[in-house]
Amino acid sequence: MAALDDTIKRIQDKLQQVVKQATAWRKENEKLRHELQELKASTRQKDELIQILELRIDVLKASKGEMPEADKKELEKKINQYIREIDKCLALLND
């Protein structure tokens, strides 16, 4: 009977270890998910900054007259797109 009790005790101990390990993994998983969300947000912000800086570069090139005609047309398209987006936002604010 003692052998059976010892076996049950070992199983219970191992089960407790597994539960503790699973809890630790869940905490680590949650921490990593949170970190991933922060990194994605940071990446989005940096991507937006890159777009703004690229647009500034294009505007500076256009103002100096150093921009090829095809690039000027592309810049005009981007500017018009931004203006349309601003107009949409203003229209939503006025509603």
DSSP assignment of 17-37, as one string?
HHHHHHHHHHHHHHHHHHHHH
Task: Note the pLDDT of residue 6.
Answer: 87
Q: What is the pTM of this model?
A: 0.57
Contacts of 75 (CB under 8 A, 6+ apart): 55, 58, 59, 62, 67
* Spans of the chain below 70 pLDDT: none
Task: Note the pLDDT of residue 66.
Answer: 73
